[in-house]
Amino acid sequence: EELRSRAVPPARHLIDGTSRDASDGATLDVISPIDGSTLTTIPKGTREDAQLAIRSARRAFDDGRWSDVAPAARKKIMLKWADLVEAEADELAVLGVRDNGTEIGMAYKAEPLSAAGTIRYFAEAIDKIYGEIAPTAPGALGLIHKQPVGVVGAIVPWNFPLMIGSWKLGPALAAGCTVVLKPAETASLTLIRLAELALEAGLPPGVLSVVTGEGIVVGAEIAESQDVDALVFTGSGATGRRLLEASARSNLKRVYLELGGKSPNIVFADAPDLAEAAKVSAAGIFRNSGQVCVAGSRLLVQREIHDKFVDLLVANAEAMQVGDPLDPRTQAGAVNSENQLAQNLQFVEEARTAGRTINTGGTRILHDTGGTYMAPTVITGVNPDDRVVCQEVFGPVLTVQVFDTEEEAVALANATEFGLAAGVWTSNLSRAHRMISKIKAGVVHVNTYGGADITVPLGGVKQSGNGHDKSLHAFDKYLDLKTAWIKL
């Protein structure tokens, strides 16, 4: 209760270990989606602010103040950081919810606790990264060293800032890189605090800087910089393309993108438990009001169970508690912004106009307290080329398509430019494995949806991106191979 109404002081960049305002003093208002009130301000960063942070990260990398520290000592600092994050989990969770609107039940686990877990996971790996000796012919010794790529620019979105931020920061810092982090305009507050805690834990100044502000200014400066060696990004496909272009125009920095999805969730008539499948599938699209990159937003249902399953799903959708994200009973909190809500409703209006059936939802939910809320929405009778079927809504909107055969399910599942996630519900083991191998996606959930932990990689294929967050494979983005060829 006290945390909920606590005044939030104006936020500041964290650059080279120092809190700073924008070089011209400009700020952006932070609007809480809970009630539309102004929570505080963040610096509206300038290109100079970004340059300052990049220069400090360059210096911090080149002088070895982090990468040359003994692995065991770096590990100790990162483990302490994880402890500090965990100790502040309540404050961070509530601050994050006030900033971005995710329901607290999900935010608490997915944000501070997951960030602490991620940092700890990668910290533990620091002194377990070995180089290799190549199986060369006699007379030569081939050594393969793993070296940090250098300065990393990390640009992250607003839906899960701490979770996604730590997916980048954990392995980047563990690898010995230095990082300039650019949070989203509508979710910067917790990431600034995360970086302050890193400093408190002993991370040397300049190793991690946070610059807030607009993507087209701060983000673009990072993307175009000659001094940034790798860009890691989670966000929209449109921005991803701009980052690749910026890399091509500047220094060919490595670009790793985790972009959108339109993930199929496929329910066969032989699913082990239809009631459970409907419950988990509803959560898989409606939690955090659909603002989840891996959300199962396209339901594909086998014809013989279609009507029954849609009924179950609609019942689950209508039973969802949508509202005050700080109420622990809430299952779907606020939509992040008025802008996002307007886009969601536009998708529904188009479907309605085209004669599709809105089985439930499709409307804004008005609360006395204001804020941006939307009813979980199920749309049936859609066509494969409807915009709502092809494009990522990033809201609580589920479309339902019917199929007869397994082949048809695969074809429908893959009829998308995206390839992030998928779900398959069946009790036929062979069919499950056939689907896993045929579906073009980075992750296939079987008889569940979502919830994959830190030990497995997350990344997209096709236009959902490249490279992986999470698991030891995440190091591939942050460690370069260097060969030493020695004549014996």
Catalytic machinery residues: 258
Nearest distance in Å: CB 16, ligand ADP: 21
Burial 110-143 (b: 16+ CB within 10 A, else e): bbbbbbbbbbbbbbebbeeeeeeeeeeeeeeeee
Which listed range, 7-15, 60-68, 151-159, 435-443, lies at the site for ligand ADP (CB under 6 A)? 151-159
Angle, CA of 324, 293 and 241, to the nearest 5°: 130
Applying CB under 6 A, which part among 50-58, 218-226, 300-308, 315-323 lies near ligand ADP?
Answer: 218-226
Q: Which is nearer to ligand ADP, 157 or 264 (CB)?
A: 157
Applying CB under 6 A, which part among 56-64, 70-78, 231-239, 273-281 lies near ligand ADP?
A: 231-239
Tokens at residue 109, please? 């686990």
What is the smallest separation between the CB atom of 352 and ligand ADP, expressed in angstroms? 24
Is 157 a residue that touches ligand ADP (CB under 6 A)? yes
- Compute CA 220 distance to the chain's CA centroid, rounded to the nearest angstrom: 19
Contacts of 281 (CB under 8 A, 6+ apart): 265, 267, 296, 299, 313, 316, 423, 425, 449
Residue 185 lies near ligand ADP (rule: CB under 6 A)? yes
206 binds ligand ADP (CB under 6 A): no
Contact 374, 322 (CB under 8 A): yes
The position carrying tokens 């396209």 is 298
The Cα 167–Cα 181 span in angstroms is 12
Q: DSSP string covering 58-127, please?
A: HHHHHTTTTTTS-HHHHHHHHHHHHHHHHHTHHHHHHHHHHHH---HHHHHIIIIIHHHHHHHHHHHHGG
Q: Given the rule CB under 6 A, which of 88-96, 162-170, 179-187, 360-368 is the region that contacts ligand ADP? A: 179-187
Identify the burial level of 485 via C-beta atoms within 10 angstroms of its C-beta, where 0-12 means exposed, 13-18 middle and 19 or more buried.
Answer: exposed
* Site membership for ligand ADP, residue 290 (CB under 6 A): no
Comparison of 220 and 334: residue with beta carbon closer to ligand ADP: 220
Count CB neighbours of 265 within 10 A. Answer: 27
> In the set 34, 220, 345, 378, which binds ligand ADP (CB under 6 A)?
220
215 binding ligand ADP? (CB under 6 A): yes
Residue closer to ligand ADP by CB (options 84, 397) is: 397
Sole binder of ligand ADP in the list 15, 155, 274, 402 (CB under 6 A): 155
Q: How many residues does the chain have?
A: 488
300 binds ligand ADP (CB under 6 A): no
**Contact call for residue 182 and ligand ADP (CB under 6 A):** yes
Interface with ligand ADP (CB under 6 A), residue from 112, 150, 170, 219: 219
Residues at the contact surface with ligand ADP, assessed by CB under 6 A = 155-157, 182, 184-185, 215-216, 219-220, 223, 235-236, 239, 242
